[in-house]
């Protein structure tokens, strides 16, 4: 059986500047929080591999883009490095402008649509030291940075993204120790989240005011929240709060222009007050997105919270579903139907806004185990992962969900925050010692998928 996808469907991959470019201190680039953190505490990083080199795209982008074309990409999403483009917050780095313009030209010349993100967890360290997203001034600086990007690259890029997964720096930096500032403080988390959303809306406003052609959106990592029980109210409440805090806190203001009333009530319950103005809310209301990107990897399964617990434990706690299919190489649950449930939620509750899968992929540790005698990684597990998710996505499209693309994470094995290269996600293998690139089995499978615009095999 084969299933056709809509005409002009986007096939490609996603990555980011800090995870792929390398050249972390070259040609005028200033430090971001990851450069700074690695310099101060390299032992915190799994393999003690810093962000200086990563996957070397800065020096290899021309050959990498040729390889993207060979794999069948008609689109590619990456990000601009804020600290490369405006190292001191004042002067534009012309070497960075030349680099990015050449990258975007190369993509366009090869028929690969560039989708360009402005922020992928890479806060300039000078702003981090001034409070990061807790500081309102960061939102103002982000707006200025966005205007410069639109002006310098708007003739080459017509699809822009403000933020990738904006909830992640909030969750991992203010409710965890995986991002800086690595504290647990719910009030600070909400203030940082609000300023992030304000920065997003100001960038959307700047884009629309500038008269640039094209579209602007945001990319959210949506995790459907499933309760342990369908008939226990406390479990149902747990799923409601998990969805409210981790999905709707950015999804609603981005698409609908307003925060959920239930989120405002939650803040009152927790005694959280924010610093903001009525004008801020108006900016958010008036600058809704044109499209939505969705990153989907795994579901969130929850059970009733602990009334005597602290923080979010009062509202929900994680639950291990006995029937879960687990990625044995990564530990995450694989639940393909989640992609369908997201699609139907967008259709029914978010005006069926145009959207695409901006990331979906499978991480595997020790992939060299699956190398054949010709040196090709036989990653059938990745092919199965993509195929099974695409089957459910196609079903949602048939049921009128307005999805127009699918991007795998990622094109080439790339550097991943504290884990570096522990888990490999690429269609292309990166040899860390030599920097050479080798297509995995999944790369040829993806080329056949994209070239035919149809899903075959078991679907």
Report, as residue numbers or ranges, the catalytic residues. Answer: 165, 359
CA–CA distance, 451 with 4 (Å, rounded to integer): 11
Identify the DSSP state of 184.
B
Do residues 427 and 439 touch, judged by C-beta distance below 8 A? yes
CA–CA distance, 293 with 161 (Å, rounded to integer): 8
Do residues 427 and 442 touch, judged by C-beta distance below 8 A? yes
Please give the distance of CA 108 from its chain centroid, rounded to a whole number: 22
Best CA proximity match to 242, nearest among 299, 294, 174, 293: 299
Which sign, positive or negative, has the C-alpha torsion 274, 277, 283, 285? positive
List the end-to-end C-alpha distance of the chain, in Å, as a whole number.
Answer: 6
Do residues 149 and 210 touch, judged by C-beta distance below 8 A? no
CA–CA distance, 458 with 137 (Å, rounded to integer): 52
CA–CA distance, 441 with 434 (Å, rounded to integer): 20
- Measured at the CA of 65, the angle between CA 60 and CA 67, to 5 degrees, comes to 95
User: Which whole-number Å values give the CA distances from 251 to 37, 57, 289, 292, 317, in the listed order?
Assistant: 30, 31, 10, 9, 22
For residue 448, with 0-12 CB atoms within 10 Å meaning exposed, 13-18 middle and 19 or more buried, which class applies? exposed
């Amino acid at each position: 059986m084969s299933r056709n996808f809509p005409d002009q469907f986007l096939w490609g991959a996603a990555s980011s500047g800090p995870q792929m470019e390398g050249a972390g201190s070259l040609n005028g680039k200033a430090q971001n929080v990851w450069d700074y953190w690695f310099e101060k505490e390299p032992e915190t990083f799994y393999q003690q591999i810093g962000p200086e080199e990563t996957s070397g795209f800065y020096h290899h982008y021309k050959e990498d883009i040729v390889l993207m074309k060979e794999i069948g990409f008609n689109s590619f999403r990456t990000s601009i490095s804020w600290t490369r483009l405006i190292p001191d917050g004042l002067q534009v780095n012309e070497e960075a402008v030349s680099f990015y313009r050449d990258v975007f030209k190369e993509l366009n010349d090869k028929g690969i649509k560039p989708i360009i993100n402005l922020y992928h967890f890479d806060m300039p360290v000078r702003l981090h030291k001034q409070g990061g997203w807790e500081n309102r001034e960061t939102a103002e600086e982000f707006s200025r940075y966005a205007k410069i990007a639109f002006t310098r690259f708007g003739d080459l890029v017509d699809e822009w993204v403000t933020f990738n997964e904006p909830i992640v720096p909030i969750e991992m930096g203010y409710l965890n120790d995986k991002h800086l500032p690595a504290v647990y403080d719910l009030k600070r988390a909400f203030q940082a989240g609000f300023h992030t959303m304000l920065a997003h809306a100001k960038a959307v406003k700047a884009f629309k005011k500038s008269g640039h052609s094209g579209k602007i959106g945001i990319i959210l990592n949506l995790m459907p929240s499933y309760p342990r029980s369908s008939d226990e109210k406390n479990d149902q409440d747990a799923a409601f709060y998990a969805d409210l805090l981790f999905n709707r806190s950015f999804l609603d203001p981005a698409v609908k222009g307003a925060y959920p009333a239930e989120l405002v009530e939650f803040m009152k319950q927790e005694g959280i007050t924010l610093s903001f103005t009525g004008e801020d809310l108006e900016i958010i209301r008036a600058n809704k997105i044109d499209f939505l990107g969705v990153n989907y990897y795994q579901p969130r399964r929850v059970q009733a919270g602990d009334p005597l617990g602290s923080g979010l434990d009062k509202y929900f706690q994680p639950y291990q579903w006995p029937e879960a299919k687990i990625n044995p190489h990564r530990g995450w649950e694989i639940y393909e139907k989640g992609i369908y449930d997201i699609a139907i939620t967008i259709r029914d509750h978010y005006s069926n806004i145009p959207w695409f899968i901006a990331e979906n992929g499978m991480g595997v540790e020790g992939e060299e185990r699956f190398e054949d005698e010709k040196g090709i990684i036989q990653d059938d597990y990745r092919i199965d992962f993509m195929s099974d998710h695409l089957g459910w996505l196609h079903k949602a499209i048939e049921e009128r969900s307005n999805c127009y693309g699918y991007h795998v994470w990622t094109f080439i094995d790339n550097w991943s925050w504290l884990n570096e290269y522990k888990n490999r996600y690429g269609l292309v293998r990166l040899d860390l010692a030599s920097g050479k690139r080798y297509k995995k089995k999944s790369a040829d499978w993806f080329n056949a998928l994209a070239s035919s615009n149809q899903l075959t095999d078991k679907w």
